[in-house]
Amino acid sequence: MELMYPLAIAVGVPVIIVLGLITYGYSKKFKNGRKVANTEYVEKTRYFKNKLIEYKCFSIIMIISLILALCILMGLIARPFRTKQTITEIHNRDIYLCLDTSMSMYEVDLEVCEKLKEFVSGLHGERFGITIFNMQTVTMVPLTDDYDYIIQCLEDIETACKIAIGVNDYGEYYDAEKANQYRFIVDGTLNDNYDQGSSLIGDGLTSTLFQFPDLKNEDVDRTRVIILATDNELYGEPFVELSEAAELCTKYGVTVFAAAPEYVVDYNEYERCIKSTGGMLFTLADDDMAKDLINEVEKTDTSVIYKSEKTTTEYPEALVGFLTIALCVHFVATRRVRL
């Protein structure tokens, strides 16, 4: 326990003691009224003796409670507080989830999002973001450490994927509400120019790459990772080829880990591009695809910062309670002294 203003105690308590001594030594002279003679008989009665004892006891209680209340008041003025220092472990890493939301990718997106929720809930200070792409790239979640919001977005993507899988595979019907939920992973990624193509992977990866802040600043000591989910099934002419996007990731020190369905178009070339960034390719042919991918992502955590925070908390409640009790006792004793 520390005091914010210890001078209040250093000055206040001696003043209270001096005032107490002066008051105790001061004898009030008799004024007005009439003196009573021959009181010896009254003073010997049991009633008088009891009242005298009661008077003296309550007088002492009155003085002590008043002094105690003043001392507690000085303590409140001094403002007692406690300081607590906590050390927080912050992992210096940025992660982006880059999802291909074309029709052939819903099962992969679903599994990746399901596993990532647990991964995100276990993060400590890392920033996480989400982008989706098809013809165009949309940033759903910029880099943030608001893990509750990230998990909510992952759950919304799961819901949309489940609706799309039900419609595509089982011919299920969906109402207006489900249609809106499904469009969570569609709006913004498509446009009216269908000649532009679909699953423009290089554009999606490059757009995600340049979402990282201070990307060109080589002095920033942060681990940067992209989790790319696509089947490499490209339609149309992208602005940036996948190989060029991989070279840019390598140039800026961004590692790419990829998740894909069992069938991957041009598997060897796709794997080569991913491995050139230092990452790995996982497919649904592996029973634990998402789990293995996340395990590899966790291994990239190479930079940790320990942040020290000092918090100050005041505790006036106890002193206020004691002050209230002392004042109540003083009030009762004062009333009893008036016998």
> What phi and psi, each to the nearest 5 degrees, are found at residue 287?
-60, -35
Whether this prediction's pTM lies above 0.85 is answered by no
Among candidate residues 128, 66, 47, the one with its CA nearest the CA of residue 91 = 128
201-215: average pLDDT: 91
| Domain 88-307 coded CATH 3.30.420.40 | no
What would the pLDDT profile of 7-59 be if each residue is shown by its tens digit? 887 888 788 777 777 766 555 555 566 777 777 777 788 888 888 888 888 88
In this predicted structure, what is the pLDDT of residue 254?
A: 93
The set of residues, in sequence order, having a beta carbon less than 8 Å from that of 335 and lying 6+ positions away, is none
Q: Count of CB atoms within 10 A of residue 295's CB?
A: 11
Low-confidence winner among 113-117, 255-259, 331-335 (lowest mean pLDDT): 331-335
Task: Report the percent of the chain where pLDDT is more than 90.
Answer: 25
What would the pLDDT profile of 164-174 be if each residue is shown by its tens digit? 888 765 556 66
* Residue ranges of E strands in the chain: 2-3, 80-91, 93-100, 127-133, 137-144, 223-229, 254-260, 281-283, 304-314
In this predicted structure, what is the pLDDT of residue 208?
A: 95
Domain ranges in the chain are: 2-79+316-337, 88-307
The set of residues, in sequence order, having a beta carbon less than 8 Å from that of 296 and lying 6+ positions away, is 257, 279, 280
68-76: average pLDDT: 85
Answer for the pair 9, 74: CB distance below 8 angstroms, yes or no. yes
Amino acid at 232: N
How many Å apart are CA 217 and CA 220, to the nearest integer? 6
Low-confidence winner among 84-93, 112-121, 249-258 (lowest mean pLDDT): 84-93
In this predicted structure, what is the pLDDT of residue 4?
A: 78
More confident residue, 202 or 302: 202
